[in-house]
Amino acid sequence: MVNRLLREKLERETQATTRRHFIKSCAQGMGGLALSSIFMGCDPLSKPKPLAQNSFSERDLNPLSTLAPHYGPKVKSVIYLHMAGAPSQLEMFDYKPELHKYDGQDCPQSLLEGKKFAFIKGTPKLMGPQAEFKQEGESGNWVSNFLPHFKNVVDEVAFLKAVHTDQFNHGPAQLFMHTGSPRLGRPSIGAWATYGLGSENQNLPGFVVLTSGGNTPDAGKSVWGSGFLPSVYQGVQCRSKGDPVLYIDDPDGISRNLKKNTIDAINKINKEEYAKYADPEILARINQYEMAYRMQIAVPEVMNINNEPEHIKQMYGVEPGKESFANNCLLARKLVEDGVRFVQLFDWGWDTHGNVREGSIDMGLRNKCREIDRPMTALIMDLKQRGLLDDTLIVWGGEFGRTPMQENRGNKEMAYKGRDHHGDAFTMWMAGGGIKKGASHGATDDIGFSGIDGRVSVHDVHATILHLLGFNHEEFTYEFQGRPFRLTDVEGEIIKEILA
């Protein structure tokens, strides 16, 4: 083992210094080097600055060390509940009694002209709401009978009834919702938050991801990736079933002290490498080794829901030993309670086209609502009773909404009742610190097809989340490829109507 490590060390040093290896590795890059000088590159006048090994700042050696935002934040942590597949707002929060009158009638051509749909062809028929609605709480906001528990906390949340997106397929829409771009390569909002603020608990990741529903989002792990930010800021996926993190235990025969000595030796080499090349990914690697070592002690404790009181388990409806949204909601509370900055929950299975029973509006959607209703209600109540809701922002939503028309895939009637993808108008809600309780902003037309008042974009949602964390979204940037990038691109307005 020692001989192998020595050979690897010599090989790395050789690769870094010999002319033959330089020419070999740059054979296809010489033209790029020439072009960069012609087109002035990113910064042609800059010169590499060698770093002394003792010149590391706290932020260098610990990228998750806490930083102050631009101004006083309203919240310290975010819990984002994403319903992957896009829930139907027309059966949950956006009550449209007029749509009942047109149930079964052909959709007017004026609504179809110039519109893109994922599957609808020809002339679909309008479909009335498949749930019953009542005005709940002192706010009088509408909630369907699919969510009998949620009505008890409706006065704690603020609804956005006219969110819109220009994406109508799951993958790009999920990327857009979580990174501000429908294309790969941008950092997720959780990565931005941990990059800008760090984490209050140095024994846990600043950004934790939990999934349920038996699958990951269509866009894959890029929706919690770090993009062009150092990889230390990407989300760390944990599990509510089995070991919370793979390889959390040391192999047999490896003591805690031996593990620490090994990591110290590796990171000494990494610091020497960083002093030569100033590559931020080397710093990320140093921190990830250290974080992994600390997580072996902290993670098993915080991810254990068995030690929660029985009445808390019943409130959430948890199922110990299983992967479930209820388990993840309780874990989210435990994580923010322990100082984790951003907790992302993805629940898969909300794509209700009507092609199968589980994907139907009247049956499949009802079952999915039953899975989340009690846990997300308990999350709000639990945070409130612990005094944590004022310091935490909860965000709920999907990547787009559903059409008021019944899907007719291939211009044929579906086996079950379903709705196609729809980005013109859908509902999201927020609760917690800085949010106006019981508010409802925006409105759609009589059948829920388009927003007619208070329309907000995905960039507006991002600007509002960053504002509550204490950031001016226009000034919160990261230099990449010669220009400053930001989560909201060149758009975004704070949604002041839902702020307390």
H-state helical runs in 137-248: 170-179, 189-197
First and final C-alpha spacing in the chain: 61
Q: Are 449 and 402 in contact (CB under 8 A)?
A: no
Tell me the three state secondary structure of residue 10. helix
> What CATH number is given for 73-248+295-485 in this structure?
3.40.720.10
Q: What is the pLDDT along the chain (500 residues), one digit of tens a residue?
A: 778 877 877 777 776 666 666 665 555 555 555 544 444 444 444 444 444 555 667 777 788 889 999 999 999 999 999 999 999 999 999 999 999 999 999 999 999 998 889 999 989 999 999 999 999 999 999 999 999 999 999 999 999 999 999 999 999 999 999 999 999 999 999 999 999 999 988 888 899 999 999 999 999 999 999 999 998 899 999 876 666 665 566 676 666 677 677 777 887 888 888 777 777 778 777 777 676 756 666 666 777 888 899 999 999 999 888 889 999 999 999 999 999 999 999 999 999 999 999 999 999 999 999 999 999 999 999 999 999 999 999 999 999 999 999 999 878 888 899 999 999 999 999 999 999 999 999 999 999 999 999 999 999 999 999 999 999 999 999 999 999 999 999 999 999 999 99
Q: What is the pLDDT of residue 23?
A: 61
Tell me the three state secondary structure of residue 109. helix
Beta-strand pair 443-444/451-453: antiparallel
Tell me the three state secondary structure of residue 225. coil
Q: What does the alpha-carbon distance between residue 156 and residue 139 come to, in Å, rounded to a whole number?
A: 9
Q: What is the pLDDT of residue 282?
A: 80
Tell me the three state secondary structure of residue 258. helix
Strand partners, 479: 484
Q: What is the pLDDT of residue 274?
A: 78
- H or E stretch covering 330: helix 325-337
DSSP secondary structure letters along 416-483:
S--EEEE-S-EEEEEEETTB-TT-EE-EE-TTSSSEEES-EEHHHHHHHHHHHTT--TTT--EEETTE
Q: What is the pLDDT of residue 46?
A: 45
For residue 406, give both structure tokens.
């019944």
Q: What is the pLDDT of residue 202?
A: 84
Strand partners, 84: 348
